Amino acid sequence: MINRQLIYIALLLLISGGLLLTVDMKIYAVNHMTREKKYARIFGWVHISLFILVILSLLFYF
């Protein structure tokens, strides 16, 4: 049960991090919103790193 939930969370983190790093950053760059672009980059990489942590926890602990 918890394995499926962690896999679902990992996929959501990967998708949201990828969207933040690609789509949102380009939207903010076009509109000259530098602060929002910076935060989108930070949160995108946070989501990707959390994805990696969740996948590693699945591999090693379950």
Please state the domain count of the chain: 1
What would the pLDDT profile of 2-19 be if each residue is shown by its tens digit?
Answer: 889 999 999 999 999 999
Domain of residue 7, residue span? 2-61
How far is it, in rounded angstroms, from Cα 26 to Cα 24? 5
* 3-class DSSP state of 35: helix
How far is it, in rounded angstroms, from Cα 42 to Cα 36? 10
The chain-wide mean pLDDT, for the chain, equals 96
Q: Once rounded to an integer, what is the mean pLDDT over residues 52-62?
A: 92
How far is it, in rounded angstroms, from Cα 25 to Cα 6? 27
